[in-house]
Amino acid sequence: MTALTCGVPDRVPINTYELAGRNSRDWYNNQESYRSLMDFVRQHTDCVTNWNAGAVATDYISFEGILGSSYPVPMDKKVEQVDGRERTTITLHTPKGDIRTVHEVDPNIYTVWRIEHFCKNLDDVDKALSVPFEPMSFDASDYPRVKAEIGDHGLIMSSLGDPAYMSADLMSFQDYVMWLHEDTDHFARTVDIVAERMQVNLKNMLDSCVVDLYRICGPEYMTLPYARSAMFERFMVPHLRNMTELIHRYGAKVRLHCHGKIAQVLDMFFETGVDGTDPCEPPPDGDLPLDEVKRRCAAHHVSVWGNVELKLLEHGSMEDVRRTMIECLRQAKAGGGYVVLPTAGPINLPLARKTEDNYKTMIETVLEHGVY
């Protein structure tokens, strides 16, 4: 919390992102091949447990398709096995017609493949928007367990999408980009509708339970090369500001999650009032060196999280990792307000020994060189 609020702690915090060691129900804590690494993470790092209050709703809620409404939309759902994966097909019968999504899950890979998005054109978006809005309610009964498990070893973080991202994710990414540039007014109307609904639902979530930190995901959808900076200012800044102000009124902190090239939009982050930003990818995946990100963020009392790319931890040598960590500390340690954070987490089973060794090397190097 000291680093999050741009203070100087006893050492640079180390957070292993999705690998949250202090939540017994977390996926990584229930995989045998991750056991040694997770024990090491619990012993030596600073946990941020990823946890959201559960939505209380009908049998199926899709944040893409129903856009944050708990209205009981009639639906058909089919689950089948296809080439070793579980494929789920869902058809929603909206007031303006049917829309369908298809996704697959592989038991050995911790992700979801979206084979087909709900919306393939603007008519489908209008069908999704025709679903009546009924605010969502939330069940925080699991919170005492999570709070007891993390104790004073770290923070609890909930993740949220922003309205532009939630709108964009109705479509495949390529269709979204065409929608944004060729039918901008239609996209704008959709974002406004989604934003209004999300603000109601966010208040309901906060009323049910307030955690330490809220991560808002999706701003990279409005960065280069996909969108001009003016679009970030139009579709991101006002809604991010509204979300942040509401969360701050409840006494919690906000971290903005934005991959990719942020040079042209970083100053807009500060207009939203957020307390921190991640994952601050280095070039060429990002377009700013870490010391420049730190300098600009520190001037606005915004903490910096990240700069350790997962591909380094999965494919680099231990010496590569050690050298990178020392360089990250050289660029961002001074003055506090920096947290070491990988840009993503591994998703494969079993966990590769190389990846495990590199995570441990990252942690050990920061413990050695990150003391103030």
pLDDT of 226 higher than 70:
yes
CA-CA distance, 245 to 89, in Å (whole number)? 38
Instruction: Give tens-digit pLDDT for 336-348.
Output: 999 999 999 999 9
Token duo for residue 229:
């900076």
How sure is the predictor about 68, in pLDDT bands with cuts at 50, 70 and 90? confident
- 89-130 pLDDT, tens per residue? 999 999 999 999 999 999 999 999 999 999 999 999 999 999
Q: Does domain 27-57+136-369 have CATH number 3.20.20.210?
A: yes
Q: Is residue 58 over pLDDT 60?
A: no
Global pTM value: 0.95
Which phi and psi (to 5°) does residue 157 adopt? -125, 135
Contacts of 62 (CB under 8 A, 6+ apart): 90, 92, 101, 118
- pLDDT, averaged across the chain: 94
Choose among 251, 297, 306, 307: nearest CA to 272: 297
pLDDT reading at 138 higher than 80: yes
What is the structure's pLDDT at 40? 98
Q: What pLDDT sits at residue 289?
A: 97
Comma-separated ranges of CATH 3.20.20.210 domains in the chain: 27-57+136-369
pLDDT reported for residue 57: 59
Q: What's residue 323's pLDDT?
A: 98
